[in-house]
Structures are given as structure tokens and as C-alpha cells.
Structure 1
Amino acid sequence: MLHSANALRGFAIAATDGELGSIKDVYFDDAEWTIRYLVVNTGGWPNGYDVLLSPMSVLDEAWDRRALRVDLTMQQIQNSPSIDTAKPVERQHEEEFNTYYGFPFYWAGPHRGSAVYPGVIEKKPLDAADVLAIRKRLEEERAHADPHLRSCSDVVGYHIHATDKQIGHVEDFLFDRTDWSIQLMVVDTRKWLIGKHVLVPPKQVERVSWEDRTVFVNATRDQVEHSPEYDEAHPPESGAELELYRVRDQGTRPPSRLW
């Protein structure tokens, strides 16, 4: 079953030796459409502040109790590199963060572009070629000042613009709990189609205008209108039902539908 990114807010987080706090937001990578970090408010600590945690540190999940446990100690988290979550996360901060925890880089090296796979990725030492690739990618992204990390809380509410006209706004993102990849975007079309929420795969996103808070999708208004509807009480499964969306998206769909 796919899970709502919005619903993660408020999830309790526990370290191996104590209660840490609760999830405040999540950051996703808009190049690979994968959740990369959990923003956790450590309200229970003196002078509580926000910290970043990677899904790679998730040890146990209790979705019914809205709680996650991470394979980290309180001391490890307290000593982690400081990151101001009120500002965009720079790649240099990510490099320091992942090096501190010993996590592989997802933007360069042997795991470039891969999903998170908590607890599954083998932590391989970087060779000389990996280091050079990382440095080159860092230089390129620092020049463009865009590590492609976005706040789910910020993007919710962005306008959705089809190829012919505006059709709705971003309501939520649905991710696979196995690898934390975002599989579908929930679009609220109620201003145009009363009471209707539809599902659009991120691969249909043509571009995002962060200045105009608008997501442009490569589909007509009619195609978005006839996309599969979203039922919050019965979210899509990550198996056959989701595969049906993928198959349709690859060209076997009826001409009048998006997939």
C-alpha cells in the first residue's frame, strides 16, 4: 500500500535509547522523486530544535500507531552536523550529513539516482572515481544553487497547469514505504471538478516553476480530468494496481486518457 506524505507529519520518532520527537516535514528530491530526509522537531529536548534524519536510518515502522524508530542513538543525533531547516538544504550540508552517518550519496557515486532502501543499501567505500564524480557534481550544483530538494509542506498547494489550462493544485504525494520513492501525486481538481481528486505520476511533470508555485504537467485538462480518482480510504497498492497505472502510462492507454 502506498502512503501519504502529508500523513507523515506528526509521526512519533524514537531513537534506540529514547524518544526523539515528531516529524514536522519531509524533503524530497524532485529529480528522482524520492523522499530523502525527515524533518524532526525535538520538542522533548531542552531548547528543542529541528534535525534531519534519513529514511536510511529507519529501523522499525508502526504505521498504525503513527511511529517510526531509527537505528541511531540520541547522542549520535545530537552530535550530527547542524542544518538550518528554515533555509534550503545545500549539497555541502548533505555531504557533511551523509559522511557523518556513513550513508552513501544518492547524487553521485555507485548509488547515484537510487532510491533510499532503508537498511538495505550496502555501505561501500568510495573509490577515486566516485570522489571525483562527487566533487564535479558538487561544483555544478553549487554553481546553479539547486540540490533539487523540496519541502512537501511547501509544494502542497502549488497550482497544476495542464498543456491547455490550469486544472487544480497539489494536494499530496503517495510514496512506497519500501524505498520511499514518490509514485503518485494527488491533484485536487475541486474548483473545476467538484469533489474530485485524481492521481498523476511524477513522470508526467514537465517542469516546476518555483517562482510561480506552479507544476506543469504534460497532459491536457481532459486527460487529467479522466485520470484515476484517489480514494483516501483505499489508497493504491504498490503491486498489481499500481502496475496497472504504469502499464497504461507506457502506451497501452485508451487515446482519451492519460494512462
Structure 2
Amino acid sequence: MLYFTTDLNTYHIEASDGQMGKIQDLYFDDKKWVVRYAVLDARKWLPTRRILLSPAAFASIDTDNQQIDVKHDKETVRNSPSIPVDATFSKDLEMALTGYYGWSRYWLGGLLWGVEDMPGVNIDDQELEAQEMSNEPEHNLRSENDTWEFRVHANDGKIGDVADFIIDDSYWKIRYIVIQKAHLPSEDRFLALKVDIIQSVDWLGGDIYIDSDLEDLNDQTDYESKEAIIEAL
């Protein structure tokens, strides 16, 4: 099933023994455009901690109740490696976190999640030992929140601004970038472009470059609302 990442930001995170908070942000890697962690707003429960969970920890998405069910109980999450609210999420912390939960280290291997295409858990001791000896991740994690209103450019001009992302709940890959078109008479209309045609990103400057021309993009279907995109896909 496909979801807007902005919609997931309204969902509650439900542990096996109670609610933990809402999704505050999503971290995706800048190589494969796959969501690696959900950052929880858990201030009411653990006010000094930042809680990150891999999609490997998710049991299901309950759209009726707008919640994501997690496989762990609250005590397991509470005892996870401590990440202070104001701390930078470093590669060392990521290694500690994946080691604690037993999540497969997705940067090993050529598939979306390392040796698998889907998020995996409970790797065996031999694999964990081999991963401990491996190199650090060769990627950067990017904040979904930080990409809002990034400018999107074709080869010959600006298309518009980032309005959302669309992900699937099997692989947790960002499938489409949703763009609010920039120019009259098409303002307030949206395009959904596959991330495969992204040529490069200036993460500091806030610019995304698409390998396409404006004329070709004008021939693509645009939509009056974001909701119409999901209905059409």
C-alpha cells in the first residue's frame, strides 16, 4: 500500500503494551531513497530521549485508527541505546541501535535492505559478527522534514517545490516525489515523479535536479490535489 509521508506524521506509534508517541520525522538514505528510521515524538513518555525505530520494528499499519503497531514492548524501547534529544544521530549510534535490536545492517549487500529487499530482524550471531567487522555505512541519512519546499528543477528550468513523498509499506522505499507546480496556469496542481529520474540533489542548497525537460513533464498527468494522486496510482 502507498502512503504520503506527511500522513504518517500524524500516526501514533503503539507498542505491544501501550502508546509511545507520534512520528516526528523520517530519516531516509541518500543512495537508495529508502526510509531507514522513524523518529518518535516521545516527550510525554521519555522527555530527555530521542527514539528511533526501523521499519523492521513495525508489525502493521492500522489506517482506520491511524497508528503503527510495533513488535516491541515499551521496556525494550526504553532500554535501547540512549540518544539525547539534542544529539546528532551518528554512525556509531546507528551501529549500536541496529546491534541492540538485531536489525539487519542495510548498507551491507546490494539489495534495498542489504541482503534482503525488505526490512529484516533477528539476524544470527554469525552474521552480526561479520557485520561488526564491516565498514561503516557509505551514505548519509536525510531528514524528510528538511526536504519540504526543496526546489525541483528540470534540465531547462524550475518545475516547482517538494510537497510530499509517497512510500510503500513493504519495502519502505520512497517511490515518488510529489511536486507542487510553480508557474501559472498550473499552480496549485501537483506532479508525481518517480525518484529514479532524480539526477542529483544539492542537500545544502535545497535543490533537486530531474533528468527531464519541462516540455516532457508538461505532457505528464498532473493532479488538482495530492489525494487524487494516490487514487490514480
TM, length-normalised to structure 2: 0.86
> Aligned partners of 2:18 and 2:122: how far apart in 1?
27
Structure 2 SS opposite 1:10: coil
Q: Which residue of 2 aligns with 1:82?
A: 82
**Cα deviation, residue 135, structure 1:** 2.6
Q: 1:232 aligns with which of 222, 226, 231?
A: 226
Matched, 1:17 2:7: no
One-letter code of the match for 1:158? F
**Cα deviation, residue 162, structure 1:** 1.0
Q: Which residue of 2 aligns with 1:103?
A: 103
**Cα deviation, residue 124, structure 1:** 3.9
Q: Which residue of 2 aligns with 1:112?
A: 114
Deviations 1:83-119 (A, max 9, x none): 35656532221111010001110001585275444xx
**Cα deviation, residue 129, structure 1:** 9.2
**Cα deviation, residue 182, structure 1:** 1.0
Deviations 1:169-212 (A, max 9, x none): 11110011122111111011144522210011111111110121
Is this contact kept in 1: 2:102–2:123, CA < 8 A? Answer: yes
Structure 2 SS opposite 1:44: coil
Relative distance call for 1:63 and 1:114 in structure 2 (3 A) is same
> Aligned partners of 1:77 and 1:121: how far apart in 2?
15
> Aligned partners of 1:191 and 1:109: how far apart in 2?
42
Q: Which residue of 2 aligns with 1:257?
A: none
Is this contact kept in 1: 2:153–2:207, CA < 8 A? Answer: yes
Matches within 5 A, 1:42-57: 42-45=42-45, 47=47, 49-57=49-57
Is this contact kept in 2: 1:109–1:131, CA < 8 A? Answer: no
Structure 2 SS opposite 1:83: coil
Return the structure number with greater strand share: 2
Q: 2:170 aligns with which of 162, 165, 178?
A: 178
Matched, 1:26 2:26: yes
Structure 1 SS opposite 2:226: coil
> Aligned partners of 1:203 and 1:33: how far apart in 2?
9
> Aligned partners of 2:115 and 2:203: how far apart in 1?
22
Is this contact kept in 2: 1:104–1:124, CA < 8 A? Answer: no
Return the structure number with greater helix share: 1
Is this contact kept in 1: 2:166–2:175, CA < 8 A? Answer: yes
**Cα deviation, residue 45, structure 1:** 1.5
**Cα deviation, residue 48, structure 1:** 5.5
One-letter code of the match for 1:209? D
Structure 1 SS opposite 2:7: helix
> Aligned partners of 1:83 and 1:128: how far apart in 2?
22
Is 175-184 or 190-199 further displaced after alignment?
Answer: 190-199
> Aligned partners of 2:227 and 2:102: how far apart in 1?
38
> Aligned partners of 1:212 and 1:79: how far apart in 2?
38
> Aligned partners of 2:101 and 2:71: how far apart in 1?
11
TM, length-normalised to structure 1: 0.78
Count of residue pairs brought into register by the alignment: 229
Root-mean-square deviation (CA), in Å? 2.6
Q: Which residue of 1 aligns with 2:211?
A: 218
> Aligned partners of 1:155 and 1:163: how far apart in 2?
20
Deviations 1:117-152 (A, max 9, x none): 4xx6663444499437x633x1x74xxxxx321111
One-letter code of the match for 2:72? L
Relative distance call for 1:172 and 1:71 in structure 2 (3 A) is same
Is this contact kept in 2: 1:34–1:116, CA < 8 A? Answer: no
Relative distance call for 1:87 and 1:164 in structure 2 (3 A) is farther
One-letter code of the match for 1:227? Q
Structure 2 SS opposite 1:208: strand
> Aligned partners of 1:181 and 1:15: how far apart in 2?
23
- Unmatched 5+ residue regions in structure 2? none
